[in-house]
Amino acid sequence: MKKVLIIVSVIIVLIVVGVFLLLSNLNSLVAKAIEKNGTDATQTSVTVSGVELKLREGRGSIKDLKIASPDGFKASDAFSLHDITVGIDVESLRGEPIVITEILIQAPVINAEILKNGASNIDELRKRVQAFSERFSGGSEDESDQSSAQAKKIRIDRFIFEKGSINIDASELGLEKRTIDLPEIRLSNIGGVEGATPDEITKIILEAVVEKVSSEIASSELRGLIEDKLGDSIKDKTKGLLDKIGG
């Protein structure tokens, strides 16, 4: 009996240590999940400098989330999100979906670069996110079922992206760099009542933000300047691009 009690005591200690290690590493686990899902969706580097979750208080913060520009562009970061605050419904952690009451991103900076051939880092990211979405939704039924079974579903009640700015670099076209304001972006009930997987949530948010940034660039005075600077051989192509991302 004494040996049994010793073994049980050891097991309990191991469980307590395991829970402690899980909780103490929760911030780093969340950071790694953000980086992995973001990188999968954009096919470029996504990093965060830190995550701080306070589950008892139902809130958290993410610092310096950066999405790198695709290869071939000078701008190191296409998106730089310095301050992200998150509200969490703690009770929902016991079941599914996990409910994020709010994600607030303040003063994000977008670095949009347009090359002399009309290509832009923002539109390239848009294409990659779209391809990721199609690949995800176009998988076999077995793959979809397996992914759904493995991923915990999430619902986001409110997503707010405010006080942002877009730095536009079209220097390859001989234009001066400029900065324009980015209107507020608000999304609600992301994932619906039943929630969605992290991959699906990532796709929905990135698509919305990239489309808004592209639209603002296309509707600004820069559109006419870019078309004036481009040669006839690619003007029609780029005009179609601007129409597409602006509409």
Q: Digits of tens for pLDDT over the chain (247 positions)?
A: 555 556 666 666 666 566 566 667 888 888 888 898 889 889 999 999 999 988 888 999 999 999 999 999 998 999 999 989 999 998 998 889 999 999 999 999 999 998 888 888 988 988 888 888 777 665 544 554 444 445 678 999 999 999 999 898 989 888 889 898 888 999 999 999 999 987 788 788 888 888 888 788 777 766 667 667 665 544 454 444 444 334 3
pLDDT attached to residue 200: 83
pLDDT attached to residue 180: 87
C-beta atoms surrounding 171 within 10 Å: 14
Q: Which residues have C-beta within 8 Å of that of residue 71, sequence separation ≥ 6? A: 44
pLDDT attached to residue 158: 95
- 113/125 Cα distance (integer angstroms): 12
pLDDT attached to residue 87: 93
Q: Which of 224, 161, 148 is nearest to 191 (CA)?
A: 148
- Only one residue has tokens 């078309």, namely 227
What kind and span of H or E run contains 12? helix 2-24
pLDDT attached to residue 211: 83
pLDDT attached to residue 201: 86
Q: Which residues have C-beta within 8 Å of that of residue 4, sequence separation ≥ 6? A: none
- 195/200 Cα distance (integer angstroms): 10
